[in-house]
Structure 1
Amino acid sequence: MQSFRQSFKDQTPLYVFVAVLFLVGVLFGALMVNALSLEQQQDLAGYLDHFFLTLHEGGEGEIPASFGNIAALHLKWLGLIWILGLSVIGLPGILILDFFKGVLIGFTVGYLVGQYSWKGLLFALVSVAPQNLLVIPVLMMCSVAAITFSLYIIKNRLLMQRSGSVTKPFASYIGLTCVMALLILGISSFETWITPSMMQWVAPMLLPASSL
């Protein structure tokens, strides 16, 4: 526990950097909504109207997504960060993924709020926020671990400042990623069986009057 606290303290600047990068991505994604053309806005509105109608009617098909699909999506993201952390050239890729994750969330929430006002915000709070309040910290921890390991490789292999065997840091890196993967499975369970029920509760508020 003491070593974990010390590691967290040592990595605090990295956590701050990754968090700021993610928040910049959220802001950028929200601003992207204003760059949509009228045709793109109409296409998105049509898709969302169909999505909300399907939710309201309780239809099967693409929604709710299966546990396997949701877990696979999150685990692929986690795995990509882990793989990028194994190489020197993967370091920028980790930062790009964190920024892109922020863009996706910012765009989704920004569009819902811009299109549906407070009802869109309510839908975002039940469909986007719950799992991402857990997923984002997990991805941030994995990102910081990946960046730390990548920097360790740079220092020990490229700069020739050998400070010991790579075995222990690598084992810690794998161990943390496995724990985070288990957490992702738990979050995916919530997203599979709880989130759709909350979405179905809010969906009727966003439907056009003619669809009710």
Structure 2
Amino acid sequence: MPAMQTLKQYFKEQFTLFLFVSVLFVVGVVFGAVMVNALSLEQKQELGRYLSSFYRTIQDGAQVDGKQSMLAAFSLHMKWILLIWTLGLSVIGLPLILVLDFLKGVLIGFSVGFMVGQLSWKGIAFALVSIAPPNLIVVPAILICSVVSISFSLFIIKNRLVRRSGTIYHPFMRYSGVTLAMGVCMFGAALLEAFVSPTMMKWVTPMLAALTN
């Protein structure tokens, strides 16, 4: 398929940029995990009470509105990629895209780090069934959106601001097309987050409780 070959060639050409944003994301994850140790005792206790309450709610088999959760998750994920898409349209937004990649890593690293700090090995298992499934789609989608956004910004700088040559139509359509495709992926991630992760949490939580008794 020519379209797939063209897209594959494009991502091959942008490998260095992919590597850069991936490393930036990983640095954010590490930084987020380290941030847990910087919390005050009061902050840890407050977050710990919230986590324990959530854990008990799952353990008691509370019902979750899957449709509402899916819409909320999809809305949140789409805000991320639409913000990245918007920033890619402006030259000054380029560094902010990198900030968003780093921030996403911080959020995930902090969440996992806090779960592990509060629940020990149970936190690892809980993170694997609650945080990991949707983020297996969300994180690559955000990184892909970031790469095409940065690439588009660099194209604008090179061909519109410096040389003032070349058409912007095809790069813009490719840019928007990839973003739209990642939006579809985000819908899949929202379905996982709303229906698969809660089911896995309900399945794992009683097992974890039994092992600690």
CA deviation map 1:37-81 (0-9, x unaligned): 100110011111111111122224688952111110111111111
Q: Is it true that 1:46 corresponds to 2:45 in the alignment?
A: no
From 199, 204, 209, the equivalent of 2:201 is: 199
C-alpha contact 2:70 2:191 (8 A) present in aligned 1: yes
C-alpha contact 1:29 1:107 (8 A) present in aligned 2: yes
In 2, distance between residues paired with 1:83 and 1:155?
19
In 2, distance between residues paired with 1:205 and 1:73?
31
- Percentage identity across paired residues of the two chains: 56
2:183 corresponds to: 181
C-alpha contact 2:29 2:109 (8 A) present in aligned 1: yes
State the AA in 1 paired with 2:28: G
Higher helix share: 2
1:152 corresponds to: 155
Q: CA RMSD in A?
A: 2.1
State the AA in 1 paired with 2:127: A
Counterparts in 2 of 1:63 and 1:108: CA distance versus 1, 3 Å: farther
Counterparts in 2 of 1:143 and 1:205: CA distance versus 1, 3 Å: same
State how 1:158-169 maps to structure 2 within 5 Å.
158-159=161-162, 161-169=163-171
**What is the TM-score with the length of structure 1 in the denominator?**
0.92
Compute the displacement of 1:112 (Å). Answer: 0.9
State how 1:41-80 maps to structure 2 within 5 Å.
41-60=44-63, 66-80=69-83
CA deviation map 1:111-165 (0-9, x unaligned): 1112211110000000011111111111111100000001111112322x24410
C-alpha contact 1:149 1:170 (8 A) present in aligned 2: yes
1:23 corresponds to: 26
Counterparts in 2 of 1:93 and 1:33: CA distance versus 1, 3 Å: same
State the AA in 2 paired with 1:91: L
Q: Is it true that 1:105 corresponds to 2:108 in the alignment?
A: yes
In 2, distance between residues paired with 1:26 and 1:205?
28
**What is the TM-score with the length of structure 2 in the denominator?**
0.91
In 1, distance between residues paired with 2:56 and 2:68?
16
